[in-house]
Structure 1
Amino acid sequence: MTDFRCALASLTDDEPMVGTAPTDTELLLVEAPGPWGRDAVADNRLPDAVRAHLASLDLKVFMVRRPDGSAGPGTHVYRASAIADGFSVRAAVLDRPDDLLALDLDTLEPHDGPLWLVCTNGKRDRCCAEMGRPVAGMLAGRWPGGTWETTHLGGHRFSATLMALPSGVTLGRLEPTDAIAVCEQVAVGGFPLGWARGRAGRPGIDQARELHVLAGGDPADEVVAVPGPVRRQSCGDDKVKGTTRYEVAGG
């Protein structure tokens, strides 16, 4: 099945995206230009000691790079911590990657402005590269300082997929032709339901409840998780896994 594309299969099946945003509440984004391997934290061009240090941290680490392949000056680092309505984001620009070894993450300065994180790690899943990179390129034209290619967002089958900070709004099935207009909505506080996966930093059930209400549902409705179909979820391997869907109880 070398021609299998998980994103096309998911779209053809009309698989729901609701409740599939990342649930991690503490995130660290580290600039790592150049290629990444399947496990990007372990396989990148950062010094060995830095890679080992990042792997030891008790938070979710993302590698990020500029869509145009440029790097610097310095090494950009962002820390995002979940709060009630999204994330609190802090940042630093280090002189060199090795400065990460002594960096106190609690001393980073507040970051102002949006970050657009587009999953593009082709070594992990070919759909992320094929569909994510054109979207990242379009967004970089609009937000050159805030657009990053990233990895680890999960949900390869919903490519092109994006997480926005500080809102935590996570989107899927973006196309280059609609990406800027959709993200403009996010930038002014919107949550474009046609592309919505959920708000990152929350459990899937909470993501689903929020989207249910935003779509006009009764806040008093009970939203429940139910087993979804067992399916292949990635181009990167042929394993099949169970999925979860969210429904209104008794609906």
Structure 2
Amino acid sequence: MPDFRCSIASLVDEEPMAGTAPTDAEVLLVESPGPWGREAVGDNRLPEAVREHLGAMGMKVFLLRRPDGTAGPGTHVFHARATATGYDVRATVLDRPEDLVGLDLAGLAAYDAPLWLVCTNGKRDRCCAELGRPIAGALAREWPEATWETTHLGGHRFSGTLLSLPSGVTLGRLTPDTAVDACAAVVRGEVPLEWARGRAGRPAVDQAHELHVLAGGDPADELVAVAGPQRRQSCGDDKVKGTTRFEVRRPA
């Protein structure tokens, strides 16, 4: 199926997005301009010593680049740890990327401004590139300092998708127009339910439960993961995988 698009297949299947945000409790974001390969952390233009260091860090690493292709001055680095309400984000700008090796992440300065991380790695999935790049461009016109293209967030079948920090709110099925409105809602402290995948840094069932309650559901309801249809989930390979959905189990 040369014209297969995973985002269209997911939409036609009416696959729910709830509970599909990244679950990583700790992430590192590193500016890396230029092209990225399918396995971006090891296939990029950073120096070899830095690539090896990132690959051995034991935490999720995302690479960043500006939508307009500009870079610097310096190399932006963000470190984020999940909290009860989102992420604690720390940041620095390094003189050169080699300074990342041995960097004391615990000593970075607090960073409270919003970050919009739009998945655009076309080598991983073409939906991310085709749908993500116009979204990143639209957001950059509103928030030039906050907006970054990023490598694989997971859930490319929900493209265009983005992770917002520090809230952790992860959005999907965005367009350039809806992305601006959705991110403005996040800035106001809201969770735009029409586009919400969940709050990153939490287990999937907890993400789904939060969205259930925000939509008016009873906080006492239990959500249970159930198997969804088996189907191809990516434009990048032909593998057939199982999907997961969440059913509400109300207390007796």
TM range (shorter): over 0.9
C-alpha distance in 1, partners of 2:250/2:189? 32
What are the within-5 Å matches in structure 2 for residues 42-191 of structure 1?
42-191=42-191
C-alpha distance in 2, partners of 1:134/1:68? 11
Q: CA deviation at 1:102?
A: 2.2
Q: CA deviation at 1:112?
A: 2.3
Partner of 1:16: 16
SS at match of 1:247: strand
CA RMSD of aligned residues (A): 0.9
C-alpha distance in 1, partners of 2:171/2:249? 25
Residue correspondences, number: 251
Residue pair 2:220, 2:250 contacting (<8 A) in 1 also? no
Runs of 4+ that moved beyond 3 A: none
CA shift digits 1:3-40 (9 cap, x unpaired): 10000111111111010000000000000000000000
CA shift digits 1:204-245 (9 cap, x unpaired): 000011000000000011111111111111000010001110
User: Aligned letter for 2:186?
Assistant: V
Partner of 2:41: 41
Residue pair 2:221, 2:250 contacting (<8 A) in 1 also? no
SS at match of 2:16: coil
Partner of 1:246: 246
C-alpha distance in 2, partners of 1:84/1:250? 25
**Structure 2 unmatched runs, 5+:** none
Instruction: Tell me the percent identity.
Output: 72
Q: CA deviation at 1:156?
A: 0.7
Q: CA deviation at 1:51?
A: 0.1
Moved more, 177-186 or 24-33: 177-186
Q: CA deviation at 1:250?
A: 5.8
What are the within-5 Å matches in structure 2 for residues 155-234 of structure 1?
155-234=155-234
Residue pair 2:66, 2:149 contacting (<8 A) in 1 also? yes
C-alpha distance in 2, partners of 1:185/1:24? 23
User: Aligned letter for 2:21?
Assistant: A
Partner of 1:5: 5
C-alpha distance in 1, partners of 2:154/2:127? 12
TM-score by length of 1: 0.99
CA shift digits 1:46-81 (9 cap, x unpaired): 000000000000111000100000000000000000
